[in-house]
Chains A and B, each alone.
Chain A
Amino acid sequence: MKYTEDHEWLRIEDDLIVVGITEHAATQLGDIVFVELPEVETMIAKGDEVVVIESVKAASDILAPVDGEIVEVNDALGDKPGLVNEDPTGEAWFFKVKVDDLSVLDSYMDEDEYQDLIS
């Protein structure tokens, strides 16, 4: 698992990158009541606002961590946005993205570096 400074996690699954937010981020955001996901087949560029997460109080943007094409989104979050609080690194993944080169992940933090960031 790799991590961004924006508190996203990224992991490789079947040549795709799966993206979600960390437990730390989910705790900071508070109770999630709505997640707006991108459409499948959307082309994204690193830094694009790709997901909107709404807590009781406020909306937050999640930025695309890599360039690529969205190939799958987690529709379960439509009915159960609270999954982001319950299981942020498991069931509550946001989307899967196809990238040209999986080595883009190399520039991101590993678990130890991320723990240092949030401690």
Chain B
Amino acid sequence: MTELLQLGLHALHLELGARMVPFAGYEMPVQYPMGVMAEHQHCRASAGLFDVSHMGQVILRPKGTLSETALALEALMPIDVLGLPEGRQRYGLFTNDSGGILDDLMAANRGDHLFVVVNAACKTADVAHMTAHLSATTEVEAVTGRALLALQGPKAEAALARLVPAVMAMRFMDVITAETLFGPLWISRSGYTGEDGFEISVPDGGARGLADALLAMEEVAAIGLGARDSLRLEAGLCLYGHDIDTDTTPVEAGLTWAIQKTRRSGGGRAGGFPGAARILNELASGPGRLRVGLRPEGKAPMREGTALFDGNRQVGQVTSGGFGPSVGQPIAMGYVLADKGEIGTSLTGDVRGKRLPVTVCPLPFHPTSYKR
């Protein structure tokens, strides 16, 4: 076991009274004294500040043109990168040769380069993967010396606009650079809570000042990983390594919205990404299993790993499950055989040896409120 890394804002988390836990090789704040439930509710009602500096920030700098870099990246994922306009960001997925998902990510067109944010647990592998496949056209630079903060919730815009007025003009998935007294901020209007909000890449030297300035605002409270997980689960968003991994395809995972027409059969740049044969076939014929929302009927949460049954036949399993503070009930996501994936299908889940009723339901559990 290697030693845990500390975030640049480690001291701030301790001052705020965070409980720190190991996560993806880092010591991370799982909750603050407010507690997971209240932190979750605060983010939904006001604005929450998350330190997500453990995530990987990567710059893809073209050796030639940005289009060449975009096309090279398209060879690693079933996403329209070439058509991503300057100042816009898009969700993406690295796939492997069998159509599984190596990681999910955000990719932004920042004019003279692409900026990619990847999951912490995958970042070393992702940088190696990109370096191995993009080096003919692109310098792959793992960004160091910058923190990543997320400000999420209905009052995020009002709070951040006091420091960076330009964010008021941003729409969901816009990206800008803002020169501030905290240094140049790379801001996207996005996040992973289902709420409107922003992700802010800030130089290490300005991170504490920015965090302090935001936390000093009445609307803003620090939110830990615990509430980040319940917020993203209510929003129906996948957690890599749990809901998606190398054994799940984007089609099984219900992430087909992320695959633009041009990369599909009949499109201008159809296929040409790892696992294309399987993924395009599943798009045409349907996958064998599907990621679905699940509502346990009782009060007992169904956690990750809970086996799902139709009668005595196992038809799937839970990949994320817990309690939804805004829903007020246990909620879960998991995979079921495709013919058991219809909304309203009644199944049972094995909770400590008891078969408890659970119903397939639509995602998200809590409506998203992105500023489109």
Contact = CB atoms under 8 A, between A and B. Distances in A.
Contacts of A33: 299, 301, 323, 330
Given A33-B323, A36-B352, A59 B35 contact: no
Given A30-B226, A34-B330, A59 B303 contact: yes
A30 B35 contact: yes
A78 B301 CA distance: 13
B299 A30 contact: no
B36 A34 contact: no
Contacts, number: 45
B322 interface: yes
A33 B298 CA distance: 12
Contact of A36 (B31, B35, B300): B300
Interface residues of A, number: 14
A52 B230 CA distance: 20
Interface in A8-65: 30-31, 33-34, 36, 52, 54-59
A34 B298 CA distance: 10
A58 B230 CA distance: 11
A58 B226 CA distance: 10
A36 B356 CA distance: 13
Contact of B36 (A30, A52, A59, A78): A30
Nearest to A27: B35
Nearest to A49: B352
Contacts of A58: 303
B37 interface: yes
Given A30-B31, A30-B36, A31-B35, A56 B300 contact: no
B302 to A, nearest CB: 10
Nearest to A61: B352
A46 B77 CA distance: 55
B29 interface: no
A78 B322 contact: no
B323 A56 contact: yes
Contacts of A55: 36
Contact of B301 (A30, A31, A59): A59
Interface in B102-156: none
A54 B330 CA distance: 10
B330 A31 contact: no
A51 to B, nearest CB: 11
Interface of A: 30-31, 33-34, 36, 52, 54-59, 78, 81
In the A-B complex, the 3 residue pairs with the smallest Cβ-Cβ separation, listed nearest first, are A31-B37, A33-B323, A56-B36
Given A56-B226, A56-B325, 11 more contacts: A30-B36, A30-B226, A31-B36, A36-B300, A54-B300, A56-B37, A56-B322, A56-B323, A57-B30, A57-B226, A57-B229
20 contacts: A30-B31, A31-B35, A31-B36, A31-B38, A33-B323, A34-B299, A34-B300, A34-B301, A34-B323, A34-B330, A36-B300, A36-B352, A54-B300, A54-B301, A56-B40, A56-B323, A57-B226, A57-B229, A57-B230, A78-B299
